[in-house]
């Protein structure tokens, strides 16, 4: 005889977003005592080599609204094009550069800022040099699986034109969605989830 299931209630449905901040940026959410500062909040110190820059990011939905509960991670090479990773076999990366950052967007403005350095060029798998770039991972309410993209630098046009990854983008009108313009020492990178300006995302 079948058992009645009317006593079982459906659990609330939530995407990863509300829980990501608690697990990955506890101090941002007001949880003290886990870390002195949230992991990934600081990428450089006073001994880090390279040109200091600020990367300002926003995540924008299909309606043009800036998401205020996103969390962004970045990975990048150091000024010499070396990664702070055990798998880096080409040399020793700058020990004073983290190479990785994680910041939650501001709950009022939807912006986040990374204080970092401009990365050097790294080789593609066939040996060709890639243009300087930063890899980003984005999560937020409504995003069940993190999105991966790249940010290239607007003042590196010659390198961007020859970049082996950018060359593979079939619809050339979408390449500008990966290029961040420069204003002083700040690069602004808006990540559009949908719509006419939808950012190119990578399946990695």
Name the pTM for this structure: 0.89
> For residue 22, what pLDDT is reported?
79
Q: Is residue 1 domain-resident?
A: no
At 177, which CATH number?
A: 2.60.130.10
Q: Is residue 199 domain-resident?
A: no
Q: Is residue 181 domain-resident?
A: yes
> For residue 143, what pLDDT is reported?
80
Domain count of the chain? 1
> 183 is in which domain, residue-wise?
17-192
89-129 pLDDT per residue, tens: 999 999 999 999 999 999 999 999 999 999 999 999 999 99
Confidence grade of residue 145 (pLDDT, cut at 50, 70, 90):
confident
Helices marked H in the chain — which ranges?
17-24, 157-161
Alpha carbon separation from 52 to 81, 94, 109, 170 (Å, rounded): 15, 14, 24, 33
35-83 pLDDT per residue, tens: 899 999 999 999 999 999 999 999 999 999 999 989 999 999 999 999 9
């Amino acid at each position: 005889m079948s058992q009645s299931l009317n006593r079982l209630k459906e659990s609330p449905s939530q995407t990863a977003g509300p829980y990501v901040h608690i697990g990955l940026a506890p101090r941002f959410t007001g949880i003290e005592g886990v870390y002195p500062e949230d992991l990934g909040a600081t990428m450089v110190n006073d001994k880090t080599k390279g040109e200091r820059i600020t990367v300002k990011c926003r995540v924008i939905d299909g309606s043009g609204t800036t998401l205020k509960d996103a969390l962004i991670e970045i990975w990048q090479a150091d000024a010499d094009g070396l990664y702070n990773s055990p798998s880096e076999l080409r040399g020793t990366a700058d020990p004073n550069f983290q190479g990785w950052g994680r910041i939650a967007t501001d709950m009022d403005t939807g912006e986040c800022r990374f204080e970092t350095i401009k990365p050097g060029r790294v080789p593609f798998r066939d040996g060709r040099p890639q243009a300087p770039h930063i890899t980003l991972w984005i999560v937020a309410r409504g995003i069940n699986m993190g999105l991966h993209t790249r940010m290239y630098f607007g003042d590196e046009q010659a390198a961007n034109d020859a970049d082996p990854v950018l060359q593979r983008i079939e619809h050339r009108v979408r390449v500008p969605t990966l290029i961040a313009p420069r204003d002083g020492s700040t690069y602004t990178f808006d990540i559009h989830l949908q719509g006419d300006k939808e950012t190119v995302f990578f399946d990695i």
